[in-house]
Amino acid sequence: MDFPVFYLDYFGNRFLMTMMTVIHICVSHPILIGGFPLLVLFEWMATRNHDDALDRFVQRVAFVMFLLVTTVGLFAGIGMWLSASLVAPQTLAVIVRVFFWPLVVAWIAGMGLIACLLRYSLTWASVDDTKAKQRHMLMGHGVCLTAFILLCVFSSILGFMIQPGHWTLHLKAGGGFYNPMYWPQLAYRYTSSIIAGGLLIWFFAARYTEAGSDLRGRIVRAVAIWIFSWLSFAIAGAQWYWSAFPVSMKANLEVALAGLAFSGRYLEFAHVLILISSTIVIVMLFGMQKPKKVPTVLLIFPAFLSLLILGHFEKTRLALQYPHAIAGFSTSNELRPDEITVYQRDGILHYSTYAQNKLAKESNLIEAGEDVFKLNCASCHTAAGINGLIKGFNHRFGRQWSQDQAQAFIRDMESAHPYKVIFAGNSNEVKALSAFLYNIKENRRRIRGSQVMGIPDVEYQDIDLKREEPTP
C-alpha cells in the first residue's frame, strides 16, 4: 500500500501485463531459443556441402529474425518490465531483491546477445573464407548460448512466482532461484520453443523459396526431422511442468483455460488445442515423406498455430497464478495474506499512503469506494471494461442488481470463486465499493489512475478507527 495505484481504464492492468508478456514470448522464444539453433545448423550444413542457395536462405531469415527481435521483441520485453513496475511495483521490488545477481548475469547475457546478434546478422557480406565462416558461426552459437542463459534466469523467476518453495520460510535467494518449478519449467519452455522455432523456419521456407524446388524440399524435410527428434522431450517436459503446479492452481484450470464465460465448456476448448497439435504433427509427417509436395499453406498454417498455442499457454499460466503475485507471500493486488485480517478490522484506506480518502463514511461513499476498488480489484479487473466487475454482476444477478447483492457477494466472494483474493477492507469499505460500482453502472464515466490524477495532495492523519464487526 506504499505506491500510487496505476489504473488502465477499459483494458485493465491485467490485460496490459498479459499482452506485453504474450507478445514478448511469441517473438523471443520461437526466434532466439528455437529458431537460431536451427539456423546455425543450416549454415553449417551449407558450408559443409558448399550449398550457396541454403546459405542465402539462412542469411535472409537471420536478418528478418534480427529485425523482429530488435523491434517487436525488444520493445515488448521493455514494456513487460515497465508494465510490471506500474502494475505490481512491490512484487517487482521483491523479485529484484531476491534475484539481484541472476539479473546481473541476465543483463550481461543480454548485452552479449545483442552483440552476437548484430555480428551474426549484419556481417554476411564480409564472410569470404573458411576461417571467417567459422568465426561467423561462432557468433551464431553465441546467440544461442546467451539466449539460453536468459531463459534459465527468467524461467526461475516465473517458477518462483508460482511456487517459491522454501524461500517463504527462510527468505534466502538460493532457495528462490532453485524453486520446485525451475527445472520443469525450463525443460518445457526450451523444448516447446525448439518446436515453435522449427515451424517458424517452415514459414520462412514458404516465403523465401519456390514451391516444389529442391531447396524447399531439403529445408522442409530437415525441419520435420528436427521437430520429431524433439517432440517426445517436449511432451515429457509439458507433463513434468504440469505435475509441478500446485494443486490449488490446477483447480483453476477451467477458468484459466477458457475464461469464466466459457469455463463450463473448457473440455471442448482443450479438445480444440489437442486437434491443433495433432494437425501440426500430421503435417510434419507429410513433410518428412513428401517434402517437395507440401502445399505453401501447410507451411504457413502450422507456424501460426504454434504461436497461438504458445500465446495461449502464457495467458493460461498467468490466469492459473492468480490470485497470487508470489504464491504464499503476496496476492495479485500486492497484499500479504497476514495483513488482510488487519485491513478487514481497521480498513485498508487507513494504511494506504496515496489513497485520496482515508476513511469510508456516508458522505464520501462513492469517492472512497473508488479508492477501495483500485486497491483491492484493479490489479485484475476493470469496473466496466474488459474483465469488468459490473459485467460479472450482470451475469450473476441480472442487470438490475442492487447494492445489497453486491455487498453480499464481495463479503464472501472467495466461496464462489476460490481463485479470487479475499476482500481486504472493513464493512464500511464493502459498502463504499458496492456504492461505487452501482454508481458506475448507472452513470458510466472514465476512472482515472494515479498516472492521470497525480499524487494526491493530502496529509496523513492519525484517524481514530472504530472497531466494528462486519455487518452480517
Please, what sign has the CA dihedral across residues 428, 430, 433, 437?
A: negative
Question: Which own/partner pairs from 297-300 qualify as long-range (CB within 8 Å, at least 24 positions apart)?
Answer: 299/202, 299/203, 299/205, 299/206, 299/220, 300/202, 300/203, 300/206
351 CB contacts (<8 Å, ≥6 apart)?
A: 1, 342, 343
pLDDT score recorded for residue 169: 72
Tell me the C-alpha distance between 468 and 470, whole Å.
6
Q: What is the pLDDT along the chain (472 residues), one digit of tens a residue?
A: 678 889 998 899 999 999 999 999 999 999 999 999 999 999 999 999 999 999 999 999 999 999 999 999 999 999 999 999 999 999 999 999 889 999 999 999 999 999 999 999 998 888 888 888 999 999 999 999 999 999 999 999 999 999 888 787 766 666 677 888 999 999 999 999 999 999 999 999 999 999 989 999 999 999 999 999 999 999 999 999 999 998 888 888 887 777 766 666 767 777 887 888 888 889 889 989 999 999 999 999 999 989 988 998 999 898 888 888 898 888 888 888 888 889 999 999 988 888 888 889 888 999 999 999 999 999 889 999 988 889 888 888 888 899 999 998 888 887 766 667 788 999 999 999 999 999 999 988 889 888 888 777 655 544 454 444 444 4
User: Which residues are registered as beta bridge partners of 330?
Assistant: 326
Query: What are the distances in angstroms from CA 137 to CA 38, 48, 59, 112, 141?
Result: 12, 12, 12, 15, 6
pLDDT score recorded for residue 153: 95
Angle between helices 182-208 and 130-162 (to 10 degrees): 130
Residue 112: closest CA among 139, 94, 83: 139
Count of CB atoms situated within 10 Å of the CB of 73: 21
33 CB contacts (<8 Å, ≥6 apart)?
A: 147, 148, 151, 189, 190, 193, 194, 197
pLDDT score recorded for residue 38: 95
pTM score over 0.75: yes
Q: What is the CA radius of gyration of the chain?
A: 26
pLDDT score recorded for residue 467: 44
